[in-house]
């Protein structure tokens, strides 16, 4: 028997349970956090709360904020920020910024694309940058237009690099 992963409303309730003894700031948006954690199990959500709390303590924050949750999420999904182990030239950093901007622009200017959530050029794990999107509503189906918009935006990074940096 396979246990299903929690739906949006379930993830909100699970987060409430794990946060009951955690001091949180007013900027914490549980609905947005729950939308971003689609596919997370209850244990994954518990770890996310714990990791965000640890980040807050390390930064000497009195309360856990949305920033701490976003950092904990990125650490879990993408890996930790590579500060010393990766040498990145200014040229590589510029190409990464152009690449991520290409993804973002093509997402923003398409009617059927998922809304833009975050762009980063901090090297994490195996990636030099990331452009994240966050649906406004949790859906189990996508239509042709949504898939097409996602494919166009996925190619936008390479197209932008080729146009701006001459990289093919």
DSSP per-residue codes, 110-143: -TTSPPEEEEE---BTTBS-EEEE--SS--S---
Structure tokens that stand for 164 in this block: 């701006």
User: Given 26, 70, 92, 100, which residue is catalytic?
Assistant: 100
Gyration radius from the chain CA atoms: 18
115 contacts: CB under 8 Å, gap ≥ 6: 107, 133, 134, 135, 136
Q: In this structure, are residues 120 and 130 in contact, taking their beta carbons and an 8 Å threshold?
A: yes
Active site residue 26: no
By annotation, the residues acting in catalysis are 100
């Amino acid at each position: 028997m396979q246990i299903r992963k929690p739906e949006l409303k379930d993830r909100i309730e699970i987060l409430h349970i794990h946060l009951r003894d955690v001091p949180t700031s007013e900027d914490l948006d549980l609905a947005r956090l729950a939308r971003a954690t689609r596919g997370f199990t209850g244990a994954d959500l518990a770890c996310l709360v714990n990791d965000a709390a640890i980040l807050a303590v390390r930064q000497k924050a009195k309360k856990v904020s949305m920033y701490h949750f976003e950092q904990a999420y990125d650490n879990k999904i993408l890996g930790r920020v590579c500060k010393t182990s990766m040498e990145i030239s200014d040229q590589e950093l510029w190409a990464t910024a152009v690449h991520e901007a290409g993804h973002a622009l093509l997402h923003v200017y398409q009617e059927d694309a998922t809304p833009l959530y975050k762009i980063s050029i901090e090297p994490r794990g195996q990636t030099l940058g990331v452009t994240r999107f966050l649906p406004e509503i949790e859906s189990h189906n996508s239509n042709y237009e949504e898939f097409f918009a996602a494919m166009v935006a996925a190619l936008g990074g390479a197209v932008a690099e080729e146009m701006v940096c001459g990289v093919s």
